[in-house]
A and B are shown apart, each in its own frame.
Chain A
Amino acid sequence: MHYALLLNNAEPGEGDMPDIPEEAMLQMQRAMADYTAALQAAGVLISAEILEPQAQTVTVTRRDGDLRIQDGPFADTREALAGVFLLDVPDQDAAIAWAEKHPATQYAVIEVRKVAAACDEGIWNANACTD
């Protein structure tokens, strides 16, 4: 089964980007590297992406008829999607077990969501995410 771990956290407001000391930054990076190494070693990691702050988002829609391309996020919320980890695990219990150990749980809320359909080698394949 494919499960997505969706990281959501509050973003620092404009101009108050905290000056995180290098040591603390390295510590967090090491924790994240250990975590993804554990995912890889377990053979459950499909992909892990951390997103830039949502201020750099561009939204694209044709939902209201015309094509609209706008700077800025769809919903300007304090908590924003900040990362996506895709796992291939047998069931939701295993996905939750991994989410519990995610270093980002310290500052983010992680949504554990089952993937409904996945594109495999360019072809939509419902089985690709349920094997």
Chain B
Amino acid sequence: MHADAQVRAETAARTSYGRLLALLAARTHDVASAEDALADAFERALTRWPLDGVPDDPDAWLLTVARNRQRDRWRSAAERTSVLFDEAVHDAPAPGAVPDRRLELLLVCAHPDLADASVPLMLNTVLGFTAERIGAAFLIPTATMAARLTRAKKRIARDRIPFTVPESGQLADRLTPVLEAVYGSYAIEWPTPPRERHALLLGLGGTIAAAAPSVAEAHGLAALMYLSSARLPARVDEDGRYVPLPQQDPGRWDRDLIGAGHRHLRAAHALGTVGRFQLEAAIGAVHCARRPGESPDWANLRPLYDALVTLAPTRGAAVARAAVVAEIDGARAGLAELDAVDGTERLQAAWALRAHLLQRAGDPSAEAVYDKAVSLTTDPAERDHLRRRARGVGR
């Protein structure tokens, strides 16, 4: 009984934390005091449930206790004047159903004024991860991360950043900053790909898709992250040598993550609106469909890249597209595409591709271009890979 209550409390903590916190914070804008009230409620659950039995609706129970805690605080003289509270305009829970307001909480976290804390704040409030855990994943000292989170929560309260549900027609647009913040966090690379941060962000991506199931790009981002992380184990071989994506051994990709990515991609597809993250995920899915010993399906990748650079023209996508063009139409055609991409002077991927294509075209300038590409490459495995390739110049 006791163990069961413990497990159920922990399960409730994992699955419900964000839902409950969103509800509690939405009416006061005070995330920190909502966290305190919720922590009290969980603590009480751990002492009451083993004695009284687990309630039929644990979430509703936790919400009621936490709200009573909040109310106790409001009644205290110090806070009576500072907090407005009108039960009528806020959601009294329908019996048996705790509404999901995590979406509003996510939108608050992505507010432009909270930019430096957006994603850590989502992980902290919507998923309940501690400052220590988030700090470790982001390579930020715990004290710095905790201060950043506290500052952001104060700002939410001070500026009364609104917890509002956008109309369904505006939801996709309003969610864009949330998705971009998460994507930005996922895409940064430190010297080695940070597994811990990726793991937290995959969970966050899945949660966002669950909180906004009608937004195709929410599924698109989740799919993109799952499919990218699936290939991470094959990025270097057993000897630690870098392996470019077209040569990776599909047997070393993570099948479970690929499966999860495909599910989100299908969910996005069913919603019938295309977006940047879905296209990138679809590109990932084409790569992941390759069997051992086969080449990537360049013919299918090309239209996806064409659509991607039209919809979201980034330098990275344009350079990757040039690589695909080179595979289909030859090195010179790829170089012409690469020349047309602006702002690649310091872009490692552009220099590495240029060196490779010049080498394939038999151009002696490849050597100097390899030198530049190597000088911009900070990852040791990839640097060695480029050096090995550079040694092939002129042979």
Contact A91 B375 (CB under 8 A): yes
A90-120 contacts to B (CB < 8 Å)? 90-91, 93-94, 96-98, 100-101, 103, 106-107
Q: In the assembly, what is the distance between CA of A101 and CA of B142, in Å?
A: 20
Establish whether residues B192 and A93, one from each chain, have CB atoms under 8 Å apart when the complex forms.
Answer: no
Q: A23-B136, A24-B135, A27-B136 are in contact. Are A97 and B378 (CB under 8 A)?
A: yes
Contact A31–B144 (Cβ < 8 Å) = no
One digit per residue, 1 when the CB lies within 8 angstroms of any chain A CB and 0 when it does not, for chain B 170-204 equals: 00000000000000000001111000000000000
- Contact indicator B191/A89 (Cβ below 8 Å): no
Interface of A, secondary structure class, is helix
Most chain A beta-carbon neighbours within 10 Å: one of B132, B138, B144, B191: B191
B380 engages A101 (CB within 8 Å): no
Partner of B348, one of A12, A91, A97: A97
Q: Which of A20, A90, A98 contacts B378 (CB 8 A)?
A: A98
A41/B383 in contact, CB under 8 A:
yes
Least distance between A50 CB and chain B CB atoms (Å) = 14
B123 to chain A, nearest CB (A): 15
Does residue B141 face the partner (Cβ distance < 8 Å to A)? yes
Q: Does A37 contact B346, Cβ atoms closer than 8 Å? A: no
Total A residues in contact with B, Cβ cutoff 8 Å: 30
Nearest-Cβ distance from residue A92 to partner chain B, whole angstroms: 9
Residues of A with C-beta under 8 A to B348: 97
Q: Does B379 contact A (CB under 8 A)?
A: yes
CB distance from B221 to the nearest CB of A (A): 23
List residues of B (135-175) whose CB comes within 8 Å of A's CBs: 135-136, 138-144
A48 to B144, alpha carbons, bound, how many Å?
Answer: 23
As a 0/1 sequence over residues 1 to 41 of chain A, the CB contacts with chain B under 8 angstroms (1 = contact) are: 00000000000100000111101110110010011011001
Contacts of A91 in B (CB 8 A): 375
Query: Which residues of A are found within 8 Å of B346, using beta-carbon distances?
Result: 93, 96-97
Instruction: State the A residues within 8 Å of B (CB).
Output: 12, 18-21, 23-25, 27-28, 31, 34-35, 37-38, 41-42, 89-91, 93-94, 96-98, 100-101, 103, 106-107
Given pairs A41-B383, A97-B348, A97-B377, 13 additional interface contacts (CB within 8 A): A23-B132, A34-B192, A42-B383, A89-B375, A90-B375, A94-B376, A97-B346, A97-B375, A98-B378, A100-B378, A103-B139, A107-B140, A107-B141
